[in-house]
Amino acid sequence: MKLIDLRCSSCGAMMQVNPDLKKVVCNYCGSELLIDDESKKIEIANSYEYGYEAEKGKIKAQEEKLLEQKEKNKRKSLSKLIIWSFLFVLSLIAIKVAGTVDTFFVNIFSLCAFVLFVCIILALKDFLVIRG
């Protein structure tokens, strides 16, 4: 059951009443109050106001969530960038080491380095796009 706020016209106390009732008795001073259409109108005006505030709150929450998601993506792309860069350096070292052993491994690690380089470029692009 939905209740509306009503102020007692004799003592000023606030109470919650069922708007379907025709009259209520104030808990504080005992006066009988009639529930008229005026109080229902106030209730409707309030619900518009509350609805507006609730909608505003919802939009704000969505914006915050979006910002949070953006921050998360930023961190993710940054850590990707760091990992790819680390592996890229590692493969460059491997090329240098393999150079003293076998050209076959040099080719393998060169391919790795190339793939990692492409990954770095893509991750860097992502990061810059997210950062805006």
Binding site for Zn ion (CB under 5 A): 8, 10-11, 13, 26, 28-29
- What is the rounded CA–CA span in Å between residue 40 and residue 24? 14
For 110, the token pair is 């060169």
Cβ at position 21, least distance to Zn ion in Å: 16
Taking the mean position of all CA atoms in its chain, how far away is CA 127? 20
- In the complex with Zn ion, the residue whose CB is nearer, 13 or 93, is 13
Q: List, in order, residues 6 or more apart from 49 with CB less than 8 Å away.
A: none
Least distance between Zn ion and beta carbon 11 (Å): 3
Our CB check for Zn ion shows the closer of 28 and 52 to be: 28
Our CB check for Zn ion shows the closer of 24 and 130 to be 24
Closer of 11 and 118 to Zn ion (Cβ): 11
Distance of CA 35 to the CA centre of its chain: 42
Shortest CB 30 distance to Zn ion, Å: 7
Q: Which contiguous run of DSSP H or E holds residue 34?
A: strand 32-34
Give the nearest distance from C-beta 12 to Zn ion in angstroms.
7
Residue partners of 35: CB distance under 8 A and separation at least 6: 6, 17, 19, 21, 22, 23, 24
